[in-house]
Structure formats: C-alpha cells, structure tokens
Amino acid sequence: MNQSPEIPTTPSAPGAHATAHRAPARALLVSDVDSTFLTQEVIELVAEHAGAREQVAEVTTRAMRGEMDFTQSLHARVATLAGLPVSVLAEVRAALVPTPGALELVERCRAAGVVTALVSGGFHEAIDELAASAGIDHVLANRFEVREDRLTGRVSGPIVDAQTKRRTLEELAARHGVPIERTVAVGDGANDAPMVRAAGIGIAFRGKPALVDVSDVHLEGESLLDVWPHLERILERD
C-alpha cells in the first residue's frame, strides 16, 4: 500500500505563517496540475531534455486513459530521465504555462475564503514556485531522487497516486473544517477519478472518458475559470 505523504502548506500562501488569524474556510477547491491547472504535462517537458518526450508522452496518454497503472507508468517515465542535470528543472519551471483562467480562479477563491490545493502526480520541483506565487494554500506532489546534482531516474518518497489524491481532499476538508459537500475537485485523467467521485462537486476539465464517466460536471471550454460558477453555487448556500 502506498504511504500517504504529508500535505504541506505553501510558504507564501495566505495564512501560512498566521493560520490563527485567517477566517474559517467557506469551501475547498482541489485541482490536478498537469493538463488541468497547467496546459502542459510537466514530466514531458523534463523528458524533452533527455530526448525522450515522445516515449514519455505515449505512456502518459495511456495512464490518463486508465489503460495503464499510474504508479507503474510514473516509474517508467521517470526512468527515462536518469542522468539529467538538476539544472534543467529551472528551464522547465520557466516554460510552465498556466491554463487560461487558472490564476484568476485562485484569486477569486482567496477573496471568497475558499481554501485551494494542487494535488499532482507531477513534481514539487517544477510546480512549487508557481503555486507560491499564485497564492495556493497547499501543494502535494512527487519528488525526484537526486544524487550529485543529477536525476537518478527514480522517485523519492511515497508516490502521489489516485488514492492519495482522494485522501488529500478528505484530509484537507477535515483540517479546515469544510464539510465534504462544500468541496470541489477538478482533474482531467483517470488518476483523478477517486478524488472527483469523493468531492461534493467533481469536475472533469477537458477530461478523458474514464474521468468524464464518474464526474458531476464536464467542462470542455478553454478556461479553468469555468469552475467558478460551481464554487459560487456552494458559497450561495451560506
């Protein structure tokens, strides 16, 4: 059984150093990262530096369709990165493109008292800086194993898989005193299905069929801000 990693608070997030002074949470939004909060798949950007992008993209597609076990697929993809200097991750961070509407969605959540979290099968080393600058409250992702400033081709620590995402939603709701019916989960792939099913409103954003089939809402537009009306429905219950 995969051990659950701890859910860190983003250092620059509102309330990270003064939780006692923050108003009670009115709702919780948990989002996947790759092809949801971002337009890209982070591991494919890293793999490009190893000359393995096409190979990694094929495995990613199979995993997101539910045709391949996510943990198995992650190990296979990360193995192609062995030997890359850790410095390439700075180039990857510089190349990240948030999905249209993603940053505005976070701003609206912050203003409305909605706790935000990114839960990713991707990697902290790529997304933490963007999450902090956006004001995301919590980020949970995998970590690359590094030896002598090079990627080893292995993951360090417990893997963030589909069930970890679901548990994170439930644990953050409990931590912030948010009833599960006041939670929203957003994702695009099969590994988001348990989290989406567990949320009060589960949203497939440009989702694969395996996720669309279990979601409450399917959004096909280009903007992640299309999630906001569904959060408003929850906030209007106050």
Question: Which of 183, 232, 38, 52 is CA-nearest to residue 123?
Answer: 38
Residue 34: DSSP 8-state: I
Which residue of the set 32, 128, 188, 226 is catalytic? 32
Question: Which of 52, 49, 82, 91 is CA-nearest to residue 148?
Answer: 82
Sheet holding 150-156, edge to edge: 150-156, 138-147, 114-123, 27-31, 183-187, 201-205, 217-219
32 labelled catalytic: yes
Which residue of the set 34, 128, 188, 226 is catalytic? 34
What is the Rg, in whole angstroms, of the alpha carbon atoms belonging to the chain? 17
Q: What gap in Å lies between CA 80 and CA 114, rounded to an integer?
A: 38
Q: What gap in Å lies between CA 14 and CA 180, rounded to an integer?
A: 22
Question: What is the number of other CB atoms lying within 10 angstroms of the CB of residue 112?
Answer: 14
34 labelled catalytic: yes
Q: Which residues are catalytic?
A: 32, 34
